Structure 1
Amino acid sequence: MKRIGLIVLAAFIGGAAAIGGYKLLEPKNEQLSFAEQQNVLFASNPKISSAGAVDFVGAAAAVSPAVVHIKTSYGSSSSGNERGGSPMDMFEEFFGGGGRRMQRAPQAASGSGVILTPDGYIVTNNHVVDNADKIEVVLSDRRKVSATVIGKDPNTDLALIKVDATNLPVVKMGNSDNVQIGEWVLAVGFPLDLQTTVTAGIVSAKARSIGILARSQQPTEEEYEEYQRTGKRPAPTSIESFIQTDAAINPGNSGGALVNANGELIGINAAIASRTGTNEGYGFAIPVNLAKKILDDFRKYGSVKRGYIGVTFAALDADRAEELKVNDITGLYVTDVLPNSGAASAGLKKGDILKKVEGATIFDSPDLQEKIGRLSPGDKVQLTYLRDGQLKNVNVTLKGENSIKDDNTAVASNSGGARIEKLGATFAPAPAALKAKYGVKNGVVITNVEQGKTFDSFRDPKGLLITSVNGKAVNNASDVKAALPASQNGTTTIAGVTAQGTFSYTF
């Protein structure tokens, strides 16, 4: 009995010390990273292996109160990205169906979020809150509170929002690097507008790239205008290194928690691969170790301060190796080194093959991109590369996007765009870099759209690359206008290309 009393006393003292430590640091918590705050909040928790116990009751009970329901509403000029569905289906909905009339998105949508701090910081997906006029969070005690966006990033599909509340339940962050294939995991969220739902499965794969985020990489109007003025290419492509799981994830789960059996947050649920729009056993979550850096940047700066190596590359496999006439079938083949970049300063050259980052073997692009995505401008990273049959190590100092200038990027000849009344849109010549990206020889880009007109029914029409109108190739607004009378039966057909391939739309 005396021994039990001592154990209880020790546990009480440990808990009191953790709470006291947090309260001591609470006034200064804006100066701490999310990981540092977590160390204070969970200081007295015992260290258990990542795999945890087979019994999921404890993990579900610990996590569920801190996973919230996010409801968004949109004005007439906005559209919900989540719409209660997965972003995985976005382009099938908008460019599929053999030219059927596209429907405007509903005026309300929903998703999930995970509370990170007792004072109301919540992580979710960018596509859950993007373009929303109003964001409402339903807490586990059924209170409804308004939220504001602190930061969002389409390149990782992460967003940080804040509610005005205190003493909220918090999910403990884990270490996604320690996650193992075959490990049990739980997905917690609000699928299909149901209340808090917990599903179980295993980790099916790691470092998975599925191309979902690249679908939204068409340049925005601001990026296009900046490109016209300076020749600076748009922001680099998205970072995808998903944890794949067969735990049931459905529309509405986006932004929710993927946790290990010990109840630790290892990922933010983001997408599903599905032909039906509902779970088929392939769900994808953003690793929490990548999210930590992004979320800290949101709170400090309101945006991501991303560091870049300054190379473009092609992931090697047997076919690509044969095409490039190299012997290696793993690693990243450097196709270009940007002037003034960290890679250029470190002496990397076209034709080098990147084999390791910080000693970890690179098999595919996510192996490199996620690790670089955790770093900031000024950070150093060790790369191992193969040149002339010899492995070499080099330390590369990452630079910010604005420090890297691609001298090979040409400025488009026409710095403006022309509006066509009939279509209610403004068109400008597509930049050479964009045409090269999609392998087309001609095209125009939509730079502005009038509300209620034809292209307003598209989601994110700005930056859309159109190659032909009524079967006629277009290179500028004059070409578009001249092609309109060629319509048959009173209809107009436009064709173009996205990251998913070509599309055709008749209206």
Structure 2
Amino acid sequence: MKKIGMSLLIAAVGGAVAIGGYKLFENKQNEQMTFEEKQKVYFANNPGSEILSSTGNPDFTEAAAAVSPGVVHIKVTMTRRASQGGGGSPFDMFEEFFGMPQRRQQQQPRQATASGSGVLISPDGYIVTNNHVVEDADKIEVKLTDQRTFEAKVIGRDADFDLALLKVSGSSLPFVKFGDSDHVRIGEWVLAVGYPLSLQSTVTAGIVSAKGRQIGILGEQGQGSPYGYGQPQEPIARTAVESFIQTDAVINKGNSGGALVNTRGELVGINAAIASPTGVYAGYGFAIPVNLVKKIVNDFKEFGTVQRGYVGVNFREVDAAIREEYKIDDIHGLYVFDVVKDGAAAAAGIQKGDVLTKVEGNIIYSSSDLQERVARLNPGDKLKLTYKRDGKERDVTVTLKAQDTKKSVTEEEASASATEIFNKLGASFTPASDAQKKKFGVNSGVVITQVHRGGMFEYFGVEKGLVVTHVNGKPVNNVDDVESALGSTKRNIVRITGVSEGGTTEFNFPIQY
């Protein structure tokens, strides 16, 4: 009997050791997994009944029930400096340059609060939300639908993508299943889940009304934009990436960072902005595609920051002005204004004047088609691009490179910086005719033929037809003169002098990065 008892004891101890060892190995493996891999393992081991897309009269009850517990309310406490004389203007930072009334009363710190939404993406407490929800936070509190509250820490955040990853100490937490934003179709039913207007968990329904939408809010947040907060490019310096899913599901303040899900209860986007002249819902909301979100949050978890690969080109979308100015017949694509020396594009043979027409075999209709695809990749990853030169298309494989922040500013890099500023102005120019110069009594000038959406010219109300005579104090007679003069921009302020029927006008544009 003693031998039998000893054998059972040894077997029990051995089993416990084996189970404990397996658990330690499992936990280690779990830490090394991406969020997508974690979700696949979880749902493979915990299969549930599939939530099917509704037909006939829509029924969103199953999707709402599956998703709502994994969407959290985020409350932020921050310290702000407020003037004793009243609230600040969003243009306070520009007063010095525009001669606006100065408010120089003594500043006092005060506590302020704000709220938004977030989405649990793993059972161990990782939460994705918008950067603008938490960027000024001193303290972040997360509240679940079951009324549990946690204090969250920021794992990583990035303003260029308007995404942040938070972490709370918890286990077996409800979370939302990843979907595939590439397969989202225009006209498809979607749900927006979040905490709008400080209400409790709220679900609204609508359809996807557009994809790959660029609205010019990232980098311009908080400056009076009609999107509740220029010109797209992939420059040498860091730049925002916009390729939003547009929906008419009702989204309001507080929905930021919440979930956009399909009728199968799968996360397809993170709600980020609304189009509104009043600050409340007026018809359209915008969400960051989940396929981009996956990459960014995995970078946050592993590196604490986004690992960005660069093609190494400055470009503008092909439009009527580009076709006329550069004598090309392409209907769409990206016209290459400049190629970074020793960059990925240069190594692949892409040159200034080429037109990028396809990425991974897909036609490029707008800059977001390229930007989002590149943003999902890391330095060292390969990307297939198609470009047109002399009327012939060529396929190349580009190996993305990391941005070299240690380089000194050479003349070529300074020129590229001028190109970046040129694109931010958001306008097309043509040389002024002798008759126009004579009419206004000037010796130099370029005429604004088009003002592009999202650029500084549009933002400050500069209209086409204006004859620009000087940029940063230098006379300009063609596009090259404009770009050259922009290279002498100081303190990130571009000085423009122009003439029109109303007389001479001077502008000072703050260029933000």
SS at structure 2 position matched to 1:249 = coil
Amino acid at match of 2:59: D
Which residue in 1 is equivalent to 2:433? Answer: none
The two structures, once aligned, show a CA RMSD in angstroms of: 3.7
Contact 2:317 2:333 in 1 (8 A): yes
Q: CA separation of 1:438/1:343 partners in 2, compared to 1, >3 Å: closer, same or farther? A: closer
Shift of 1:99: 5.4
SS at match of 2:207: strand
CA contact (8 A) 1:116 1:122 kept: yes
- Cα distance change of structure 1 residues 382 and 74 upon mapping to structure 2, 3 Å threshold: same
CA displacement at 1:340 relative to structure 2? 1.2
Matched, 1:497 2:509: yes
Aligned partners of 1:247 and 1:283 also within 8 Å: yes
User: Quick one: structure 1 residues 242 and 182, their matched pair in 2 at CA, closer, same or farther if it must change by over 3 Å?
Assistant: same
Matches within 5 A, 1:192-271: 192-215=197-220, 235-271=237-273
The residue aligned with 2:32 is: 31
CA distance in 2 between counterparts of 1:93 and 1:169 reads 43
Deviation at 1:324, TM superposition (A): 2.4
Quote the Cα distance in structure 1 between the aligned partners of 2:190 and 2:411: 46
Of 291, 297, 300, the match for 1:298: 300
CA contact (8 A) 1:341 1:404 kept: no
Distance 1:49 1:136 in 2: 34
- CA offset at residue 145 of structure 1? 1.0
The 1-side partners of 2:370 and 2:55 are apart by 29
**CA 1:33/1:348 → structure 2, altered by over 3 Å: closer, same or farther?**
same
Read off the aligned partner of 2:183 and give its amino acid letter. N
Give structure 2 stretches of 5+ with no counterpart: 1-21, 84-88, 224-234, 426-469, 474-489, 498-505
Name 1:169's counterpart in structure 2. 174
List per-residue Cα deviations over 1:104-163 (Å, max 9, x = no partner). 997111100000111100000000000211111111211221110000011110000001
Instruction: Please show how residues 231-380 of structure 1 align to structure 2 within 5 Å.
Output: 235-380=237-382
Alpha-carbon spacing, 1:339–1:48, altered in 2? closer, same or farther (3 Å): farther
Does the alignment pair 1:137 with 2:138?
A: no
CA 1:372–1:318: 2 relative to 1, 3 Å:
same
Deviation of the 1:407 alpha carbon? 3.9
Question: What's the secondary structure of 2:115's corresponding residue?
Answer: strand
Q: Which residue of 2 aligns with 1:158?
A: 163
Q: Is the 8 A contact 2:123 2:173 kept in 1?
A: yes
Shift of 1:166: 1.2
Describe the superposition over 1:91-110 as per-residue Cα deviations: whole angstroms up to 9, x where unpaired: 689889x9588899971111
Tell me the SS of whatever aligns to 1:328.
Answer: coil
* Per-residue CA distance 1:238-272 (angstroms, 9 max, x = gap): 11000000000000000000000111000000001
Asked if structure 1 preserves the Cα contact closer than 8 Å seen for 2:494 and 2:510, the reply is no
Question: Deviation of residue 437 (structure 1)?
Answer: 5.5
Structure 1 Cα separation of the partners of residues 369 and 421 of structure 2: 28
Alpha-carbon spacing, 1:186–1:370, altered in 2? closer, same or farther (3 Å): same
User: Could you say what secondary structure the match of 2:404 adopts?
Assistant: helix
Instruction: Quote the Cα distance in structure 2 between the aligned partners of 1:49 and 1:275.
Output: 37
Task: Name the CA distance, whole Å, in 1 between partners of 2:374 and 2:82.
Answer: 33
> Are the equivalent residues in 1 in contact too, given 2:260–2:269 (CA < 8 A)?
yes
Measure the CA separation in 2 of the matches of 1:280 and 1:323: 38
1:35-114 superposed matches below 5 A: 35-43=36-44, 44-45=47-48, 54-77=58-81, 107-114=112-119
Per-residue deviation at 1:236? 2.3
Secondary structure of the residue aligned to 1:368 is helix
CA contact (8 A) 1:435 1:441 kept: no
Distance 1:73 1:195, change over 3 A: same
The aligned amino acid for 1:61 is A
Instruction: Quote the Cα distance in structure 2 between the aligned partners of 1:317 and 1:252.
Output: 37
Question: CA separation of 1:23/1:366 partners in 2, compared to 1, >3 Å: closer, same or farther?
Answer: farther
The offset of 1:77, in angstroms, is: 4.9
* Alignment match, 2:482: none
Matches within 5 A, 1:117-132: 117-132=122-137
**Residues 447-504 of structure 1, C-alpha deviation per residue, up to 9 Å, x if partnerless?**
xxxxxxxxxxxxxxxx984568xx99xxxxxxxxxxxxxxxxxxxxx9842469xxxx
Report how far residue 42 of structure 1 moved: 1.7
Shift in CA distance, 378/410, structure 1 to aligned 2, threshold 3 Å: closer
CA contact (8 A) 2:79 2:111 kept: no
Counterpart amino acid of 1:42?
F
Distance in structure 1 (CA, Å) of the matches to 2:420 and 2:330: 30
Compute the displacement of 1:201 (Å). 0.3
1:254 aligns to what SS in structure 2?
Answer: coil
User: Any conservation in 1 of the 2:191–2:263 contact (CA below 8 Å)?
Assistant: yes
C-alpha contact 2:159 2:219 (8 A) present in aligned 1: no
Partner secondary structure for residue 296 of structure 1: helix
- Structure 1 unaligned blocks of 5 or more: 1-20, 80-89, 219-232, 413-430, 444-462, 473-493, 501-507
- Alignment size in residue pairs: 397
Give me the whole-angstrom Cα distance separating, in 1, the residues matched to 2:82 and 2:149: 23
Cα pair 1:51 1:183 within 8 Å, conserved? no
Q: Report the residue type matching 2:177 in the other structure.
A: K
> What is the correspondence of 1:462-501 to structure 2 with a 5 Å cutoff?
465-466=492-493, 496-498=508-510
- Of structures 1 and 2, the one with the larger relative CO (CA 8 A, separation 6+) is 1
Output the CA distance in 2 between the equivalents of 1:92 and 1:50: 47
Q: Which one-letter code corresponds to 2:362 in the other structure?
A: A
Distance in 2 separating the partners of 1:398 and 1:300 = 20
Alignment correspondent of 1:83: none
Q: Which residue of 2 aligns with 1:221?
A: none
